[in-house]
């Protein structure tokens, strides 16, 4: 067909011309070479002959390569011309591959000796490279709970005035509650409260039961003394104060009895004028007594439970005792489950308390066949209004047809609080949080939201802005003396002093008392009063001591970490860590006993340096000298890891500063030694 043949014929003509041009250039090249190198060798001709068969268009392309573009270019003064590349069968191979193939195949020119330096340079391939290792911060964000990424960050300086007028001013608090707050001197909401109250008191969430649209759970991380207690107490009181029947609707779990007492006092003050009833379960009283205080009817089988209290504040151990052993003690009506000091409580595996509590909020009553038959015949006898919707669902009941049968959920909203909230996914997973909402009080700068969030994830806890921190490094043998020196020099009063154990507490108090006796005998000043506070003391005595400390009849209270968490004593001006805290969390909670609610405060840490000189005093004190050797380094590293070292002012104490105290100290040591010798 002419239409087909025409182009084919013309292309073959073009091809012929191109080939002629190519052959002409080739001849010229040969001439050039023979001038420069003399006789052409056999092998080379052979290669060229192979090349002659290659498609001319290809050759044209190659003619444009630097190698061939200028045949008149002076050739390098090498003994042999560079070996010509040979195009092998695979047309897709690039030039580099062609060179490689030839080099790997000595058959192409077996007789030609290979001279170093005659091969064209191989193109360099990019070397395989490892990707950069992700930074610590990138790793921290990986796999992070989405809820935490969407956390609401609240600048610590945020406040909201509480008006007394009819309008609530955005606080969502009733007039009654606002008046109560005014009565106790609270005129504005603190940062954590400004965020929590509107969230927990929104219109949709003030129902006692929300089986089809249950409320979201909440996790709060806010510094010590920032007002977390009111952030949960106020919404609980506001939501429950409208209730008609008393049911156990709020459960507050705390790690110690002292904290239970403290929170109870706060709730009692603020719920004045409501009908809400408050109970505690700590094991302080007999079990039977507690049962009678908590449950109305322990004899009948009541599927809806029976409660004398609306709000129960308790420690986990005693709570489990009641779940297991108190008839009609039921958590089915719970609207709020508060876990304060959550990181500490989640670390406690006591009887798997958390799993038991969560199960109790969802549990169905176990009903015998006989009871079930009775129920079917007399449904009204059950008094269905006494059961929560979720329990009612589990009972045999008259069949009510429904187009859209919906599953009901417990209305219990979990609220977790801590100044050192754990981000441990395993621990949080155990809680089975429902669409949790995180609130984090941290950082004034909104542009640094990402890094603030990272700090929380990497457990770089925030501290009160009004806290001043100091540390002094010393030889262990001088620690008691330097402690006395700091107390005298900085006029330390209203101080909590933390030691590592109840035993060291007692010893330090004795030594201090001897020292003060010697000092005041020879000087015109009043004796400082120091007392120990430990779990060994009877409850009533502990209460009395705390009262005396609050009333400033005791100047220094020496204690172990028993009261390092949560305890709120407004007049604590100083916290002294006589023994360094074992971890950053402990440090945060210890120093957080001062500088609360915007007040100023000082924290002092006495750190032993590496070299250990065991003195008379320390012979009694030291049990683990290996640990001791590590202390200064360990403490500094702990602070550096938390990006906190720069906030701590280092104090240097000279030998000369200590000289005036030495005689009293020597006598005090002798007295202490005599005392221990007598006791043994
Ligand atoms: N809005 C407020 N105005 C004035 N004082 C307040 C306000 N909110 C709380 N406080 C007071 O601040 C102090 C510290 O509050 P709270 O004990 O709740 O702190 P916290 O955040 O729970 O601390 P911690 O983590 O140490 O337990 C308390 O004395 C409390 O009465």
**CA-closest residue to ligand 1 atom 9:** 227
Tokens of 308: 């004398």
Helix axes 502-522, 479-489, angle to 10 degrees: 60
Question: Which pairs from 26-32 meet CB under 8 Å and 24+ separation?
Answer: 28/71, 29/71, 32/71, 32/72, 32/75
Which own/partner pairs from 402-409 qualify as long-range (CB within 8 Å, at least 24 positions apart)? Answer: 406/212, 408/211, 408/212, 409/211, 409/212, 409/214, 409/434
23-60 CB burial, b ≥16 within 10 A, e <16: eeebeeeeeeeeeeeeeeeeebeebeeebeeeebeebe
Please tell me the predicted confidence (pLDDT) of residue 114: 53
Q: What is the pLDDT of residue 164?
A: 86
Q: For 319, phi and psi rounded to 5 degrees?
A: -60, -45
Listed in sequence order, the DSSP H helices in 341-460 are: 342-346, 353-362, 369-377, 389-394, 425-429, 449-457
Which residue among 184, 188, 230 has the greatest number of ligand 1 atoms within 8 angstroms of its CB, and so is best to mutate? 230
| One-character DSSP codes across 658-673 | HGGGHHHHHHHHHHHH
Whole-model pTM?
0.75
Mutate to test the pocket of ligand 1, among 158, 224, 225, 338 (most ligand atoms within 8 A of CB): 225
Is 467-613+625-677 the same fold as 138-370+386-396+406-441? yes
Residues 599, 570: Cα–Cα separation, whole Å? 9
Domain 467-613+625-677 - what CATH class? alpha beta
ipTM exceeding cut-off 0.85 for this assembly: yes
Tokens of 543: 């209460």
Count CA within 13 A, CB hemisphere, residue 452.
Answer: 21
Beta pairing partners, 439: 152, 220
Q: Is 393 buried (19+), middle (13-18) or exposed (0-12) by CB count in 10 A?
A: middle
Q: Which helix (H) or strand (E) holds 495?
A: strand 495-498
Please state the length of the chain: 680
Q: How far apart (Å, rounded) are the C-alpha atoms in residues 256 and 252?
A: 12
337: nearest Cα among 199, 228, 464, 217 = 217
Distance from the CA of 550 to the center of ligand 1, in angstroms? 16
Q: Ligand 1, closest atom to CA 570?
A: 29
CATH number of the domain located at residue range(s) 138-370+386-396+406-441 in this protein: 3.40.50.300
Q: Tell me how far apart the alpha carbons of residues 466 and 225 are, in angstroms, rounded to a whole number.
A: 11
Q: Do residues 421 and 345 make contact, with C-beta atoms less than 8 angstroms apart?
A: no
Query: Any idea where the domains of the chain sit in the sequence?
Result: 138-370+386-396+406-441, 467-613+625-677
**Hey, CA dihedral for 650, 656, 657, 661, is it positive or negative?**
positive
Pair 359, 436: CB distance under 8 Å: no
List all residues whose CB is within 6 A of at least one atom of ligand 1: 186, 188-190, 193, 222, 224-230, 419, 566, 568, 570, 592, 596-597
Question: Nearest to residue 237, comparing CAs of 248, 250, 222, 228?
Answer: 250
Q: Mean pLDDT per 10-residue run, the chain (680 residues)? A: 41 66 86 60 39 37 39 43 44 36 41 56 74 64 69 92 88 94 95 96 80 87 96 96 91 95 96 94 93 86 84 96 92 94 85 87 68 62 65 61 67 93 73 89 73 76 94 92 95 95 91 93 81 88 93 95 90 96 93 96 91 37 46 84 91 92 94 85
């Amino acid at each position: 067909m002419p239409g087909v043949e025409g182009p084919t014929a013309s292309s073959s003509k073009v091809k012929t011309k191109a080939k002629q041009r190519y052959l002409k250039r080739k001849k010229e090249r040969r001439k050039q070479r023979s001038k420069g190198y003399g006789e052409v060798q056999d092998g080379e001709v052979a290669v060229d002959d192979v090349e002659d068969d290659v498609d001319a268009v290809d050759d044209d392309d190659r003619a444009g390569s630097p190698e061939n573009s200028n045949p008149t270019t002076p050739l390098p003064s090498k003994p042999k011309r560079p070996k010509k590349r040979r195009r092998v069968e695979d047309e897709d191979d690039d030039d580099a591959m062609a060179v490689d193939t030839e080099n790997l195949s000595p058959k192409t020119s077996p007789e030609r000796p290979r001279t170093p330096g005659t091969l064209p340079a191989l193109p360099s391939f990019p070397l395989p490279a490892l990707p950069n290792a992700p930074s610590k911060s990138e790793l921290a964000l990986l796999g992070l709970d989405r809820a935490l990424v969407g956390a609401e960050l609240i600048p610590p300086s945020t406040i909201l005035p509480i008006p007394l007028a009819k309008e609530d001013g955005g606080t969502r608090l009733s007039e009654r509650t606002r008046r109560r707050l005014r009565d106790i001197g609270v005129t504005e909401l603190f940062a954590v409260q400004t965020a929590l109250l509107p969230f927990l008191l929104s219109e949709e969430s003030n129902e006692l039961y929300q089986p089809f649209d249950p409320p979201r759970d909440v996790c709060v991380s806010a510094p010590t003394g920032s007002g977390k207690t009111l952030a949960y107490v106020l919404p609980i009181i506001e939501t429950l104060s409208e209730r008609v029947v008393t049911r156990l609707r709020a459960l507050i779990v705390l790690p110690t009895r002292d904290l239970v007492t403290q929170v109870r006092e706060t709730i009692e003050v603020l719920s004045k004028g409501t009908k809400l009833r408050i109970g505690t379960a700590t094991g302080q009283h007999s079990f039977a007594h507690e049962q009678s205080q908590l449950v109305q009817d322990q004899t009948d089988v009541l599927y809806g439970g029976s409660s004398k209290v609306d709000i129960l504040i308790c420690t986990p151990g005693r709570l489990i005792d009641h779940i297991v052993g108190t008839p009609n003690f039921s958590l089915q009506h719970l609207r709020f489950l508060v876990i304060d000091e959550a990181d500490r409580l989640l670390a406690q595996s006591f009887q798997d308390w958390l799993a038991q509590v969560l199960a109790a909020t969802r549990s169905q009553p176990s009903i015998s066949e006989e009871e079930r038959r009775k129920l079917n015949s007399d449904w009204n006898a059950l008094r269905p209004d006494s059961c929560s919707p979720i329990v009612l669902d589990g009972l045999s009941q008259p069949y009510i047809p429904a187009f859209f049968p919906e599953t009901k959920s417990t209305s219990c909203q979990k609220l977790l609080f801590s100044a050192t909230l754990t981000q441990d996914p395993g621990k949080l997973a155990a809680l089975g949080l429902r669409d949790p909402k995180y609130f984090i009080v941290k950082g004034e700068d909104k542009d640094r939201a990402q890094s603030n969030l990272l700090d929380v994830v990497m457990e770089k806890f925030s501290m009160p802005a009004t806290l001043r921190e100091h540390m002094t490094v010393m030889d262990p043998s001088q620690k008691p003396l330097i402690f006395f020196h700091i107390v005298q020099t900085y006029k330390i009063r209203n101080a909590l002093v933390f030691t590592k154990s109840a035993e060291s507490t007692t010893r330090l108090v004795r030594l201090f008392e001897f020292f003060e006796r010697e000092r005041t005998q020879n000087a015109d000043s009043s004796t400082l009063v120091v007392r120990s506070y430990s779990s060994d003391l009877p409850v009533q005595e502990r209460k009395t001591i705390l009262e005396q400390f609050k009333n400033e009849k005791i100047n220094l209270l020496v204690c172990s970490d028993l009261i390092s968490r949560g305890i709120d004593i407004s007049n604590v001006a100083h916290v002294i860590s006589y023994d360094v805290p074992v971890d950053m969390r402990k440090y945060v909670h210890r120093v957080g006993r001062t500088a609360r609610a915007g007040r100023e405060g000082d924290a002092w840490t006495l750190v032993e340096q590496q070299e250990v000189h065991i003195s008379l005093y320390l012979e009694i004190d030291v049990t683990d000298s290996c640990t001791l050797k590590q202390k200064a380094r360990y403490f500094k590293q702990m602070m550096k890891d938390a990006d906190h070292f720069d906030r701590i002012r280092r104090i240097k104490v000279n030998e000369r500063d200590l000289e005036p105290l030495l005689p009293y100290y020597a006598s005090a040591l002798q007295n202490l030694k005599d005392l221990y010798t007598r006791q043994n």
